[in-house]
Chains A and B, each alone.
Chain A
């Protein structure tokens, strides 16, 4: 009987707590709400030590705190939440701790697929951000499964950074940009090389057997692809060597060249659209090649793992440490930083409210600065 009444009282206080929280969120919503929160969940082990918990229990307590924070964020109307779950440098920790963390991660990833999970409750799309090849196969497959299962959710987004460091992300983005540029330049070089070959043949006024210039693959731009792909030239031409009658051969070569010139101009025009350069003549094709290799900010940003979300508005690191630890270095250039003393399992509603209030205080100034740029 006593247990029943005490649980009813708990339920009453729980409901009262929810009611107060909703009121607070309503008040906060009168001002601008951050679109994207990022969290560095630091201090789990220190919490376990402080509370005399057994090894590994700190991370589980941290997970419970994470679920609460996610609920608060999505109730408040935050659209994106990014969490720093596991850094590439964390692999250097003791094998036992790494194994515990991987096991916990696998368990919680599989929980996300359950019907009653927070993902289904709030319609969250989940991304796993990082160099997933560094993870064990079981964890990676589970992560990919969750990403596929939640791909159709549109309400809000959760980005879980695992096997991630910001520098690794930038290296990956640069590699991707360079590979793309390389792919753009290669067909262009091939076109030009063949064009030069035709000119040389004509100059020699001697036609031997002319080797087919080969086929270049045609690619169409796919709708919805963020990067334009080269629509390259398809040309096939064959001229047979004829004894004597150089003019006739020249004519043949000229005819081939004529059709090739059209295709070459086509090729250049497509590159022009792609790069926005005003290059039209074949004499400037080398310049065009040089410009193709120049990487721009947008090229790198498109290749970032974090390109699926806008930049964070607030980054919160718990446990009082004031450093980024290789997390979102690129994306936090203008982000508000907040470093409460509380250890991650102790982080709660009030820290979130404080962070939002600070965000609102600086918002007008930051928006003005953005418009100036």
Chain B
């Protein structure tokens, strides 16, 4: 008798993040299940005033973090990109306003900047504010703009001391004038530093970047500098905003909060980027999450369409 083989149902779990998988029907699937820690000095506020002091600084002298065991220095990605998702949900879980989530997110960002600097990552791109985020409530947008300003004011000196160059990419014309001035100053002050290049994407979208690159190429065609047939991949790459950095294409993209999307961040540049989706919300991501992402990256085999054997 011929034996019959029935294919058994395959397990119901998403294997993108094998370290932490959750059943999609679990109520915790989209929320952080770690114990909620009370933040020092955090308080529930009903209305956020723009004049309120926003303290996010992590202190004047950060301690040096050696490279953790298990991570190899020679396999560190040169360019890491981060989609810092989950601030709003983090605040919601604590019964707080979104603004507190963004503040906690800023602290998390500064921690990752320090670690990147100390572990030999050369470029760190962060998706701070998307073109799509302009549809958020005005109160939240105003708070975010103030937060960017206060972080720039408080951290620029530290960046100078540590050799971190900061650049802001995106449509800065929509930002408040005061923030634009601060950005220009910070970029000018840190222009010559090279230990780490921090690219902050504000009012940015991947499509916007490509369209802008195409506009400048179109002007060159109109002026007769080049012919349409001369347009190539390298020409477009030169015109993208990430071209200001030494390594424009990320080796690793991390997105927090469990969402499995790129959300219009660095489209062209992500052609061969390894993607890592973390379950934690961004304010909780921290050193542990970063180590997991880097470990996952170092275990991957990158082929770029070819065969390795």
Contact = CB atoms under 8 A, between A and B. Distances in A.
Interface of A: 2-3, 6, 9-10, 13, 45, 87-90, 92-94, 97, 165-168, 170-171, 174-179, 181-182, 185, 289, 293-297, 300, 320-326, 329-330, 332-342, 348, 350-351, 354, 357-358, 361-362, 369, 372-373
Given A174-B217, A294-B215, A295-B214, A348 B232 contact: no
Contacts of A176: 228
A336 B261 contact: yes
Given A171-B233, A297-B207, A369 B275 contact: no
A291 to B, nearest CB: 11
Contact of A338 (B14, B222, B229, B271): B14
Contacts of A300: 210-211, 214
B262 A333 contact: yes
A330 B135 contact: no
Interface stretch (B5-13, B63-71, B158-166): B5-13
Q: Chain B interface residue count: which class? A: 35 or more
Nearest to B276: A322
B249 to A, nearest CB: 11
Contacts of A167: 233, 236, 268, 271
Nearest to A294: B215
A338 B7 CA distance: 22
A292 B275 CA distance: 39
A18 to B, nearest CB: 14
B221 interface: yes
Interface stretch (B102-110, B179-187, B298-306): B298-306
Contacts of A10: 2, 4
Contacts of A361: 24
Interface in B170-211: 205-207, 210-211
Contacts of B263: 333-334
B218 to A, nearest CB: 5
B262 A332 contact: yes
B264 A323 contact: no
B307 interface: yes
Contacts of B270: 324, 329
Given A171-B233, A335-B261, A350-B10, A97 B16 contact: no
15 contacts: A2-B1, A3-B2, A87-B305, A88-B305, A92-B306, A94-B307, A170-B210, A182-B221, A182-B222, A322-B277, A324-B270, A338-B14, A341-B18, A354-B14, A357-B24
B48 interface: no
B222 A358 contact: no
B154 interface: no
Q: Would you call the interface of chain B mostly helix, strand, loop, or mixed?
A: loop
Contacts of B12: 350, 354
A251 to B, nearest CB: 38
B141 to A, nearest CB: 13
B260 interface: yes
A323 B39 CA distance: 36
B292 interface: no
Given A10-B4, A170-B210, A322-B16, A93 B221 contact: no
Interface of B: 1-2, 4, 6-7, 9-10, 12, 14-16, 18, 24, 132, 135, 205-207, 210-211, 214-215, 217-219, 221-222, 228-229, 231-233, 236, 259-264, 267-268, 270-277, 300, 304-307
Contact of B268 (A9, A170, A294, A373): A170
A93 B307 contact: yes
Given A324-B270, A334-B261, A181 B221 contact: yes
Contacts of B4: 9-10, 13
A299 to B, nearest CB: 8
B228 A178 contact: yes
A362 B2 CA distance: 44
Contacts of B264: 333-334
B305 A89 contact: yes
A94 B271 CA distance: 22
B15 A93 contact: no
B221 A171 contact: no
Given A185-B222, A297-B211, A323-B273, 4 more contacts: A171-B231, A174-B217, A339-B15, A354-B24
Contact of A13 (B6, B207, B218, B221): B6
Nearest to A6: B2
B78 to A, nearest CB: 16
A45 B229 CA distance: 37
Contacts of A342: 10
Nearest to A346: B10
B305 A295 contact: no
A357 B25 CA distance: 10
B132 A369 contact: yes
B217 to A, nearest CB: 6
Nearest to B301: A321
B307 to A, nearest CB: 5
A333 B305 contact: no
A322 B275 contact: yes
A168 B206 CA distance: 16
Contacts of A89: 304-306
Contacts of B2: 3, 6, 10
A358 B306 contact: no
Contacts of A326: 271-272, 305
A102 B14 CA distance: 33
A-B pairs, top 4 by smallest CB distance, nearest first, are A89-B305, A293-B222, A333-B264, A326-B271
A94 B308 CA distance: 11
A324 B271 contact: yes
Nearest to A342: B10
Nearest to A42: B303
Contact of A174 (B207, B236, B271): B236
B308 to A, nearest CB: 11
Contacts of B259: 362
A293 B224 CA distance: 12
A329 B268 contact: yes
Contacts of A166: 271
Nearest to A167: B233
A273 B135 CA distance: 30
B213 to A, nearest CB: 8
